[in-house]
Structure 1
């Protein structure tokens, strides 16, 4: 860890009253991030918020009646949502609440989802149109397990005073480090897309490598051991383990729909900037192939998982090589019989 994980000066003396924190969105990431703070929780599936609040205890978390209560009562409101449509909808609800309940105290809204940069710009204009309200874009890097451990990396862009309040609230705890992208609100969502493109492209190369290892008779498990020896990047280790052991359950990982959404955003960004990323194009195709196979299995009632993780993109590579998409045991047995 770097010696100064928070690149901002410390906030001024705390206000006379404790900050009231709100959290909207308890998906795969939000469910683990929110407990790192003492929060007022809300989720569209209210039972999920109530379950988490019961686990944490009333001294740590309470369930809000809705987005209006979050916007009106809280000083800092975090959101972590599935896609751009959900983000836009929630912030429209916040804006309506603010217009009907003008505030006399400072409020900071913090968006931690992966969204297209221009949407962050639109939300910034919307929220900052209300007196005393500021918006910070702060997408996070890391899987749900890193969120649970409080070791995420946070990117931040927006108003400086607001960023440092959020940074010292979340590090340590939610994350281990903040990357400051300056005052242009669109920069943090941009680096998030570029970073996800890197992970996505690496996953595609990893999938191709493990598939070739199986097809050659070397075995993906042997190749995976070599990856850990010579390229021990956390993402390669984590996703390699999923691929080698067919752990494609997306309910405890990063669902493939989210990966496809991100790949569409990245491809749009590369087109707008005239800067191709062919590895992302291939990964996008592989994820669509995997999702298509999974959907057909669900229709036939032969599926193993209700949701598949984006590491299941290896299914595309396996099928292209004439192998079973999701069962590496069939691959190993077939290779053994041929030999």
Structure 2
């Protein structure tokens, strides 16, 4: 009997926390700032999930600097699930949990400074959690935490996500969390399964989740660089990139390898429906800074960084000439650097190569 009593309560591997305490008569007011390529899907799924909650649950307040995106989201999910916030201050003062998904460190700094001004003018009287899902340099997370936790009842959680926009659309993201334990627990059960499929707990150090995010992105960059080199060699050798991709599916069938491989093989470099190359370069800069600070070289990321800059430079020259096919290019377009180095066309794999099959 004693042994049975001591057994821990087993729960889903998707969320490594016990459920938060039963909600009181005051349902949580959720806020969301940032409706970009990832944020729109995440906020939409969060709002849609509220429909299954008690009728008293208020609609998610959404804010974006481009108001049309907020209006689009409300139209998609309905007024009972989402409502357009009039300002960042409204999110900071009226919401219990505020999620942010922003493009870069400068945007995160600007938005959280706006939140801080609102909190200073209207100090909170109850618990308030700020959850940032952006990809930022770890030390910035520490700076934001210092500002937010300086206000009464306020906590900050870092919650970067792993997965491209299609994964965000399908609510299949993997989510890293670090920060205050109780706040992580609350955030985790709001995010899974509404926004993602799994949470990874990185502990109380606020900088750990952003660090893991950079490590994860270094894996993707290194894999993309390897794909770009092998596809280029496949084309130059007469084997063909598609045949190499078929081999990838057989011996290295990771979802990311297959998805980015398909983009490269088929020249699908539209960054408006993927991860824009500027974001990839920003993340590469963060990773390279982190490796320098920790004396842990990552040559694969250095090369991927060079390839992305090459691809962006070529794309900018095409835009200047009016010959560009896409307004924004995806970071998988780093293969352009490998192709040009091998004497091939950067963005059109049908030019300059021809697969020759032996009979």
What's the TM-score bracket when you normalise by the shorter of the two chains? over 0.9
SS at match of 2:177: strand
User: Are the equivalent residues in 2 in contact too, given 1:214–1:331 (CA < 8 A)?
Assistant: no
Structure 1 counterpart of 2:155, from 111, 134, 139: 134
User: 1:15 deviation in Å?
Assistant: 2.5
The runs of 4+ residues in structure 1 deviating greater than 3 Å are: none
1:179 aligns with 2:200: yes
Residue 16 of structure 2: which of 7, 10, 33 is its match? 7
1:33 aligns to 2:42 (yes or no):
yes
Q: Which runs of 5+ in 2 are unaligned?
A: 1-10, 48-59
Distance 1:184 1:103 in 2: 24
What is residue 201 of structure 1 aligned with on the other side? 222
Q: How does 1:185-334 map to 2 (within 5 A)?
A: 185-333=206-354
Given that residues 32 and 148 in structure 1 are in contact (C-alpha distance below 8 angstroms), is that contact kept between their aligned partners in structure 2?
A: yes
The aligned residue for residue 29 of structure 2 is 20
State how far apart, in whole Å, the 1-side matches of 2:12 and 2:139 are.
33
- Given that residues 154 and 178 in structure 1 are in contact (C-alpha distance below 8 angstroms), is that contact kept between their aligned partners in structure 2? yes
> How much has 1:276 moved relative to structure 2?
0.2
Pairing partner for 1:89 from 110, 113, 134: 110
Q: Distance in 2 between matches of 1:249 and 1:312?
A: 9
Greater Rg over alpha carbons, structure: 2
Note if contact 2:344-2:353 (Cα within 8 Å) is conserved in structure 1. Answer: no
RMSD (Å) for aligned C-alpha atoms = 1.2
Deviations 1:62-116 (A, max 9, x none): 1100101100111100000000000000000000000001111111000000000
Aligned residues: 335
1:76 aligns with 2:97: yes
Structure 2 contact 178–207 (Cα < 8 Å) conserved: yes
Aligned residue in 2 for 1:44: 65
Distance 1:16 1:232 in 2: 48
Q: What secondary structure is seen at the aligned counterpart in 2 of 1:307? A: coil
Other structure's SS at 1:37 match:
helix
TM-score, normalised by the number of residues in structure 1 = 0.97
Give me the whole-angstrom Cα distance separating, in 1, the residues matched to 2:270 and 2:87. 31
> Are the equivalent residues in 2 in contact too, given 1:151–1:173 (CA < 8 A)?
no
TM-score for both structures, normalised by structure 2 = 0.92
| Alpha-carbon contact 1:207-1:314 (below 8 Å) kept | yes
Of 146, 160, 164 in structure 2, the residue corresponding to residue 143 of structure 1 is 164
The Cα of 1:36 is off from its aligned counterpart by: 1.4
- Could you tell me how far 1:55 is from its partner in structure 2? 1.5
Listed as ranges, the gaps of 5+ residues in structure 1 are none
